[in-house]
Chains A and B, each alone.
Chain A
């Protein structure tokens, strides 16, 4: 019986590995197609029989992508300067040299994702700790609100948010995308779950030792919930990198466009140039994939530790 079992499990294992490899190839395919497609001449791209590799590796798609639109490398606006200028326009204290707009889109996207990540992690870590460990009044209501709002798609408040951004004079700036991302309460929920696992005795001990609240938070709580912060950082970063909707609604100028938005306009053009699209898709995905592969270990570790605590 024992041997039968192990033979069966060996067969099962072999079969499952084969299936896994097939699946893995399927999952790899889109990326493979983007990367090779970006270097294909248009005769290959539009060929009726799919060409698995470019018959000739060309960079013309990238040339076209880079020559299509240009934008200043940086355009540093005085934050919230729209409140003070007579026509409510941004006041720039530095505008960089012009280069292909695609780079600017990348920079914008990085800025947006990183800022959203930092703000989310800081605010959520503090709030999560408070919700888990502080017995303040009104806590239950706030938590209930957070749970209910957690899965809300942003389309729900699309119009009010748009009008609010107009009133705050933030419409058509990256802040209009960043701030609502930070406001989304999933992060708080996640950090609360993490903070639950902090033993009350340690906090108690710290208080008896006379440590201030802030000191307790920064020296005891933060190190203990670090994996959670990591998980949240990854989640936020990828979500804002891949977000499309908020950017579509909130951003109008080409100069503050993001990479998702930029590629989608290539896709929506009156005529569809597949090669150009592939080049754009490659530009959008390769940098983040490289980042992912470098930080792969932290990605997986961060996400992992978080969930187990539940």
Chain B
């Protein structure tokens, strides 16, 4: 026994020593590397902070909202916040595939973060509705409301729960669109169907374009991706807009995506050779295939992608091989689509600690309604949800950016923010499961009815 214990102690010691020693060497070189981007001050501040009490430190989890997934970008923002308030922010980064699961496991284990950056479909419709979030109503005065409503009246509506509680403090917004590979369209003679000035097209033009592309390439040119829920706003907007279908009712109480216009759209899509229902792709992998040039259209697109396709840093508006990318509205019968919006902002999980909630509110105020808001918005690569923040004008932050300016042409098409309908998370799984079944050749009417009913049943 003694021997074992000795061996055990020895091995533990060895393990610790090894892990320290082995990595101690690179540290001396590497400790310099991450620093130069920032001044020495915020780091100094940080190393002093641990002596503070708990409220001096909060945790933030971000979904990949534009560049809020990029550590260097976020660190610059949080460092500025720490410098001003002395509150340290620990940031962790979620992805859209496993992110929900991780928040849910953390909630189950009573270990939720203080702050989370996401949209109303999670903050309001899911965690807010289940009593996990803090009501932020006291953070909005009339000036705030009017500043936000001046941009779009729908924003605050989306961030507010049916009972009047506000679970999300909005920061940025965008409209989700689709993208086409212009060179491919030109080669196939399909560019005649695109109106690159207004970035709109009709369903008939879209269908003709797909056929022309298919004739030219004799392979799949666009994919209705359905591996999972990632990027499903693209498939929803595509199906809804083709023949004017709806997704929910106007009151956001019931899912209506089994309406006949959607069935017509799915039947049409399914019948086309150029379009595949692909259960091996989700939004992200679709973007990769589009960027790579195998797909000629992407349904999962927005301004952040337009500025940096596939996040590959190989130049705005270009595919890997240098083909031009044009963003387009989704096709509809009259050319005016209802685009799905994204409204991202912060929510606070109620961890039962007033000091931390207070610190989190300070953080929100700093990012969403102060002179720093312009930076926070720019970090996301999206548009501000308010005209001014504490006197700082936000309407012109992208004035010198031609692509952003061009993209504002799509913003008026921003449609109803229906993602706050109850049972949204369950509904999403029903949606992509439905697409998978349609893809494998099941009867469309039957399948869509079954899944839409299931979604409504889950919504209760």
Contact = CB atoms under 8 A, between A and B. Distances in A.
A172 B111 contact: yes
A143 interface: no
Contacts of B305: 271
A308 B253 CA distance: 65
A10 interface: no
B165 interface: no
Given A103-B26, A110-B15, A271-B311, A48 B64 contact: no
A46 B320 contact: yes
Nearest to A257: B92
A99 interface: yes
Interface string B267-307: 00000000000000001110110011110000000000100
A271 B288 contact: yes
A27 to B, nearest CB: 24
Contact of A264 (B8, B98, B284): B98
B111 A269 contact: no
A253 B92 contact: yes
A92 B50 contact: yes
Given A70-B71, A122-B8, A166-B110, A87 B353 contact: yes
Nearest to B30: A99
A69 B23 contact: no
B92 A265 contact: no
B130 interface: no
Contacts of B126: none
Given A99-B23, A214-B1, A273-B312, A87 B108 contact: no
B456 to A, nearest CB: 27
Interface string B40-54: 000000000010001
A89 interface: yes
Contact of B27 (A99, A159, A215): A99
A14 interface: no
A163 B109 CA distance: 6
Contacts, number: 148
B179 to A, nearest CB: 13
Interface on chain B toward A: helix, strand, loop, or mixed SS?
Answer: helix
A100 B24 CA distance: 13
Contact of A110 (B19, B311, B314): B19
A73 interface: yes
Interface string B61-100: 0001000010110000000000000000010110111100
Interface on chain A toward B: helix, strand, loop, or mixed SS?
Answer: helix
Contacts of B98: 248, 264-265, 268
Interface residues of A, number: 57
Contacts of A125: 4
Contact of B109 (A69, A107, A172, A253): A172
A165 B93 contact: no
B27 A97 contact: yes
A203 interface: no
A103 B23 contact: yes
A98 B3 contact: no
A96 interface: yes
A285 interface: no
Contacts of B20: 74
Nearest to B112: A252
A299 interface: no
B12 interface: yes
B105 interface: yes
Contacts of B96: 268, 270
Interface of B: 1-4, 8, 11-12, 15, 19-20, 23-24, 26-27, 30-31, 34, 50, 54, 64, 69, 71-72, 90, 92-93, 95-98, 101-102, 105-106, 108-111, 230-231, 283-285, 287-288, 291-294, 305, 310-312, 314, 320, 353
7 nearest CB pairs, A to B: A268-B97, A166-B109, A171-B109, A268-B95, A214-B1, A87-B54, A97-B31
